Structure formats: C-alpha cells, structure tokens
Structure 1
Amino acid sequence: MKSDITVLKDSRTPVPTVLGQRSARIPTAGKIRAGIKVLTRRAQDNAHARDIYQRGIEEGRGFDDIERALAQALPDLQHPLVPKNVPYFTVRGADFPNPETARQMLDLYGEDRGDGVRRLYRFPVVFPADVWQAVMPHDLVCWGAGEKKFWSEYAADGRTRLCKCYAPVPQDRTSRKPIRIFGGRRTQLRAENSGMCDPELCPEYQARKCNLSGRFIFYVPGIRSCDAFELPTNSLYSMTRAIEKFEALAFLRGGRISGFLDAKRTPFYISKVEREVPHIDEQGRSVRTKVWLIEMEAPIDVAALLNVGDGEIVREADAAAMTFEAPPSAGAAEDREPSARDHFEPEANTEHAGTTVTAAAAPMTGGGIEEVEAILGVVDAFGMDRGRFEAFAQKRWGAGWKRNAGGRSRVLAVLEGCEDAAALAAEVDGALGAASEA
C-alpha cells in the first residue's frame, strides 16, 4: 500500500531569531576515515610503543587517542604516528557517539578480500543537500594549539579569498577582565597580506602548516541516524573529481544531487581507486606517484536519466508544456514522447515547422501562486532582487518553471539547500552577466 506524504510549505518570510542569524550547517555525528596511521620507524624500534599501538588497534580506539596514549607514556617520542595511504576506509567505534554504528557499517558493507580482516572498501551514500558546497565544505586552514589559527574564507563577491583569524577578546574597561561574548568568538581579517589569502606568499602554507582541508557529508542507507556522517580528506585530486561528478549529475537532474539518483533508489557510492598524481619534489621537479584516491560513483543509466525524469514531474511538465508550445497535430501528439529538454529548456526551441509559438499562458492555480510567493520570499530573505533572480531562474530552469510544479520544487530545493547567500548572489550575477555579454 502506497502512503501519501503531504508536504506543507510556509510562504512567510523567515522570522529573525537570536540564534538564527548564522550560516546553515548540516549536523554530523561520526567520522569515516580515509586512511590509517602507523608507527614511525623510530617508534617501531620501541617495544613499549608497539604494545600501546597494537592494544589501541585491538580495542577499536581512534588514532588520536592512540597518539595521546603514546605521548603520555613516551614523552620523548615526538610524532610517533604518520598517515598511511591504504585502499580501504577506517571505521572505528571511537569515531562515533554510538560505537555500535561502526559495527553496523562493517556488517552491512564490509568485505574480506582475502586477508581475513573485514574492512570498508566501498559503501553507498545519500547527500542531504543540492548545493555541493554544503555537502563538501572545504578551506585552507592552519591549526594552532587545539584550534584554528588561520583559515580561508571568500568575500561577498564570491571571488576574493580572504585570510581570517579570531579577533582578540575585548576587555572590560573597569575590571580589565575579558567580557562575555554572545554567539561565539568574533573573527577578523589577518593583519598580514592585507587580509588576503595568497598561498604562494603565505609563510604558513609554504611551511606546510596551512593545508587544504575538506570533508564529505552524507547519510549511509541502512544506518539509522538523525545526524549525517563525514569523511575528511585533504586530497585536492579527490575533491576536484567529486566536484566534476556533482556538477555533471546536477546538470542531468535539474540541479539536484540530494536523495537517491533515480526511481530505483540508486545511491552514490564512495570507494577508492589507485591513480598516478603529479607533485613537485624538493628539487622543484614534477614527479608522479601512485596513491589511493577517494572516488565517487554514480551507477545509473545516463541515457534514461536524460529522457525520463521522476514520473510526477513528467506528468506535470506535460501540462505545463502547453503554456509555451503550440498544439501539435493529432498524429504527432500520439507518437511524440516527452523529454527533459521539452520541460526544462523551452527557450532552446521556440519555432516548429509551419507553427508559430504563442506566448499565451494558462493562469496558475492558487497553490502554484503560493509556492512562487514562498520562493520569492526566500529570495527576499537572502537580500536579493526578485527580478534578477527570476531572470536567472528562467535562464537555468526554463521559462515555464513557475507553472511547472516540478520546476518550482527544483528552485525551492536549491534555495533551501543554500547556506551561502553571497555565493548564490554571485552565481546569479555571473549567469546574467554572461547572458548579457553573449
């Protein structure tokens, strides 16, 4: 029996609250690691260090805990662990609030590839937002004593990269004590380099103290959790390839990367592949090294995805198509199959042989008007101009997006998943600028 789900949408502008004026973030609980840490050669020569390391591995402790135990027991042993690139992911109970979650993941998706150990080599994921910047946040970051010291952040124009740091805590003029700060510590531009993030001129980056840091945020089908999971990575190549996949799938799915990929409930898969990547050695020469990189797979039939969308969207788009297409002949109407191009790119084909397309449009129903007003209310909340956003939406989703329930859902999903209004405004400006120049 199919259950009907009713989605109620509030068309009111979001009300400001004391704790609501901040960027939306997806809560996470638990980490899947991309690799492991092993003892350095010096640490391997120490029998006590080997015992502590092996005991920590057998108990399922995290590598950070093992490193702290080594530092406490052997204070003279500096940096006893080093990362090691391996073809599998690490799932340890210490990395989850509920250690049972790690066991469930290994039971569901773990594999024994002949060495007698069950490991996580490949697993399905579902992303919770349609904006790839929200599900793969990343920046350049320099860590100090237990906290971020410097980090990169983009300005409102979406192009200028800034170097930020925490501002000094103000002191009370009378007591000379630090004042209580509400809402978290303030940030400011770094004094050096006029607050600009320029890795080639940054002493921390050149000393390898500041590095690219990112993470994938997702849900794992079959694992019950209100919070998402994360997979940290520092690999430029892994993140670059993931962006390419995100953008390609979003283009094919009308801007969507969240949820399952098709009606068959096909998820993304995350695995590892061994590739040769270039890097600059100490002599300044380009050399290639084989490494295991995080790879994102989308095992779907792209041809089917291009021609057949969600059934409900196709049915609604058939009705909406009458608002911008002249009626075809009876024979053509029977033979012609709807396509994604017909519903989402009407401006790309405005003339037919022997037919003139009219601009007549059927009026929207009350529900459609309310949905459009809800979308424009979010646009207002972002501080953007309605007219410019409507022009951008028409360019991206087609002239009939307002009258197509599927089109309205796509636009609203993009807005609701956006955590950076400035970046969205920059995207709108870029798209309209490119259109005007063309």
Structure 2
Amino acid sequence: MNTIPSVSSSALLGRSGSRLPICGKIRAGIKVLTKHAAQQPQAQTLYDQGVAAGQSFDEIEAAILDALPTLKHPLVPRNVSWFTVRAQDYANPVLAQQILDAYGETRADGERRLYRFPVVFPSDHWPTVMPHQLAVWGAREKRFWSQYSADGRTRQCWCPAPLPSGQEVRPIRPFGGRQAMLRADNGGICNPETCPQYQNRECNLDGRFLFFIPGIPSVSVFELHTRSFYALNAAIQTFETISFMRGGRISGFLDRDHTPFFLSKQLREVAYIDDEGQPARVPQWIIQLEAPVDVSALLRERDDPDTCLMPAALATQVLADEPTQEAPVEVTVPIAAAPVTPVVNGDESPSHAQVLALVETFGLDLERYTAYTDRRWGTGWKLNRQGRRRAWDELERYRQDPEGYVDKIETEVARAAGRRG
C-alpha cells in the first residue's frame, strides 16, 4: 500500500495537509442517564428505545431534552470494556452490522459487543493516522487548538480569525472557509500550566485513530476518538517500535502472514490530580494498540542478499588468512556525475546507487537527503531491499513536483535539528 505523503500539496484549494475520508465512527465508550435523569420514567423509556433502535447518544439526548427540557444534561459518559458500534454513526449503516458480525463477541451479559478487532493503517506517517491536539470546543466550533510551528519546536495556540468585513453591511464570505490565526491574548503560545481554559478543564487532549478494518469493504477509513493521554502515548511507542523493525513502515499488514494491528481495551489504574490538588488513582479501561507479531520474523524480513555480502566477504578473508578490508557493498554515484534517471521495473529492488542517481535529478543535496531518509526509515534503509524500494517509490511519487519534495525534506530536516537543539 502506498504511503500517503504528509507534505502539503498545491492545488486550486491551496496548500493543505492530507486528509483521509471517513466512513464512520467506532466509539470508545457509552453514555448513560445521570442519577437525576434515571429517576424520570419518561427519560428512561426514551433512553431504552434509542439504544434499542441504534440511535447515537446525541440523538437520544436531544429526544430526552425535547420531552423534558428541565433536564440540563441527562447523559454522562461511562467508561466500559467494549467499543460502541451504532448504525447511525455510518454513512452506510450496513457497515456497523458487518463489523459486529465479523468481530463481535458474546460474553457474560449475553449482548454481542466489540471488544477487540483488527486494523491496518493507510500511512507510514503516524501523525497522519493518529492526529491529536489540545482543543477547546464551543457550542458551534473549535474555539482554540494547539499546533506545532513549522520547525517543530514551539507548540502554538490557534483560534478562528475574525470574519473580514467590507464596506457593505454583509460580511465578506471567505473562500475556503473560516481562516485561522494565532491567539492574541497569550502570544500564540500553548502553555497548559498557565492556560485558564486548560486549568478549568475546558481544554482537553483530543485524538483519534484512522484505520481500515480487514474484511469490511470501504474505501474510506474508520475513526476512533480518544482523549486518553495514556492510550495515545502508548500507541506512539508501538508505532515507533514497529516502524524501526519494518524499515519505517506501519501501513498495511505487519508481515507475510497478513498479521494486522489490533485495537482492544485494558483495565489500568491511571493517575490524576483531584479537585483538592492531591494525586489520586482510578481504574480506567484504556484503548490499547496491539501488534501481535513475531519480532524475529520482522527482523528476518529486513535481511536480503545485499546485507549478507559484506559479512560473507569478511568471513572468506578470515578463513583464507587474508587481511580484511571493509569494502562498501554498493558504489555511490559521484556527485559530479551527470544526472541520470535509472529504470527499475516491477518488484525489482533498486540499488543504493540508483536511488542516489534519481535523487540528483531532483537537485537535492545528498547529505540533506541522507539525513532525512535516516530519520524517516532508519540508518539501515540503504542496506535493506524494502527500505531502498520505499525510498525509490517516494521519489517516484514526487517526480512531477520536485520543488515540493525539496521543501518537504528541508522542513523535516529543520524540524529534526530544532528538536535536537
């Protein structure tokens, strides 16, 4: 599966990051009636009817408020051990039943629920498949949200820009939707410790997983929202571990046996600060990203004949009692050489020299390119058949947009240098 590039692209609608179309939601929990609302027979009836009909909790809450307007907040979230799959959360409601039929389980309570299910991710760039931010939501739109600066060093605070107005009474309608600007009253810096919204629990971590589910037909991705720091942080560690072992890849199946990732829940004690400012712990069902794959098999798949050439040559020299010299496995293209465009067909793996020759046609600095690729796929990508193929495919994707690719590399290298600084 081809990687979805994280770089922005120029088009009629401007430069914008890649966005994956979403076909529906899997929810991490449920909502139940508050203690006060549960004492109202009509509220209980409407809640039971809505759940049985597969309505979303927003629809159930709206129906209760229409019937009993004195109930301010009739529903509250509840953390449970399963995921919620409702037909109303899908453009094609049939998908919800297909998911439950394929991966649902019937446990002690007799209800068929989704406790654990397989997923594959459409991109090797984990921020693309697990976007997250600190955000403050208003009644109609996001009021404030966090976003890192271009160099990756500063977490900034953004907000919607005021609507422009002209000489006419009617405000100007902006092309492309509402624009954004850095928040003025805090200098555009996101600092949770000094942010009144964060300290008042109005600003929260907001993240989601974007994925495909094997066996469920859809060209759009499914999404799973979470506000759990523990779930997102653990997922990042899993992504980075798998990426390291697979030469930079997290997309698609994990191995030749078509092993996917799995999403499940684990009961853990999590720490928090209570209303009196004291540390406390509470049990919570936390989303867990599993990668049930044989690690040794992943490492073996990274081996190829090229990685064996040097050890074999050295062993021969030792057995023959000859002085050992570590010769490079592949000859790099001289910088002064005229740019060429090598041809690689089908599943053939390009050599390191062929990759560098293609790099030169972009006008890229080889040192900057190597710094970028070593960070993206690990320093062993050039000795790995899959790693070289991945670098080649990325170059091919940007053949018609060399300036965009140069900009992508410069941005990533500068961001990495900023983080080290």
> Which band: TM-score by shorter chain?
0.7 to 0.9
Change (3 A) 1:198 1:178: same
Q: Which residue of 1 aligns with 2:327?
A: 358
Name the SS of the counterpart of 1:194 in structure 2: coil
For residues 375 and 44 of structure 2, what CA distance do their matches in structure 1 show? 62
Give the partner amino acid of 1:428.
V
The residue type equivalent to 2:89 in the other structure is D
Report if the CA contact (8 A) 1:326-1:355 is conserved.
no
In the alignment, is the contact (CA less than 8 A) between 1:131 and 1:414 conserved in 2? no
Map of 2:182 onto structure 1: 189
Question: Matches of 2:70 and 2:360 in 1, distance apart?
Answer: 62
In structure 2, what is the Cα distance between the partners aligned to 1:47 and 1:357? Answer: 81
1:19 to 13, 21, 32: 13
Is it true that 1:133 corresponds to 2:119 in the alignment? no
After TM superposition, the structure 1 stretch with the greater mean CA deviation from structure 2, 425-434 or 273-282, is 425-434
Cα deviation digits, residues 83-102 of structure 1 (max 9, x gap): 00000000000011111101
Task: Please say which of residues 408-417 and 35-44 is displaced more in the overlay.
Answer: 408-417
Residues 264/212 of structure 1: CA separation in 2 closer, same or farther (3 Å cut): same
CA distance in 2, matches of 1:148, 1:420: 32
For the residues of structure 1 that align with 2:326 and 2:419, how far apart are their CA atoms?
26
SS of the residue corresponding to residue 299 of structure 1 reads: coil
Match of 1:119 among 113, 117, 123: 113
* 8 Å CA contact 2:22, 2:221 repeated in 1: yes
What SS does structure 2 have at the residue aligned with 1:139?
Answer: strand
1:340 counterpart residue number: none
- What per-residue deviation string (whole Å, max 9, x for no partner) do you get for residues 263-285 of structure 1? 00000011001001111111211
Whole-Å Cα distance in 1 between the matches of residues 405 and 103 of structure 2?
34
Is 1:167 aligned with 2:161? yes
1:287 to 265, 280, 294: 280
Contact 1:164/1:190 (CA < 8 Å) preserved in 2? Answer: yes
Normalising by the residue count of structure 2, what TM-score does the alignment of the two structures yield?
A: 0.83
Separation of aligned partners in 2, 1:396 and 1:151: 27
Find the aligned partners of 2:287 and 2:405 in 1 and give their Cα distance: 26
What is the match of residue 28 of structure 1?
Answer: 22
1:97 to 91, 97, 113: 91
The 1:14–1:238 alpha-carbon spacing in structure 2 relative to 1, beyond 3 Å, is closer
State the identity %.
47
2:205 pairs with 199, 212, 223, which one?
212
Q: 1:263 aligns with which of 243, 256, 262?
A: 256
* Aligned counterpart for 2:292 among listed residues 295, 299, 303: 299
Gapped runs of 5+ residues in structure 2?
A: 334-341, 345-349, 399-403
Residue 338 of structure 1 corresponds to none
Report the alpha carbon displacement of residue 306 of structure 1 after superposing the two structures with TM. 1.7
| 1:201 corresponds to 2:194 | yes
Residue 17 of structure 1: how far off its partner (Å): 2.1
Q: 1:168/1:255 Cα in 2 relative to 1: closer, same or farther (>3 Å)?
A: same
State the TM-score, normalized to the length of structure 1.
0.80
Distance 1:33 1:401, change over 3 A: closer
Cα RMSD (Å): 3.5
1:342 paired residue number: none
Note closer, same or farther for the CA distance 1:376–1:221 as it changes in structure 2 (3 Å cut). farther
Partners of 2:199 and 2:258 in 1: how far apart? 45
Cα distance in 1 between the residues matched to 2:418 and 2:153: 15
Partner SS state of residue 206, structure 2: strand
Contact 1:27 1:227 in 2 (8 A): yes
* Structure 1, unpaired ranges of 5+: 334-351
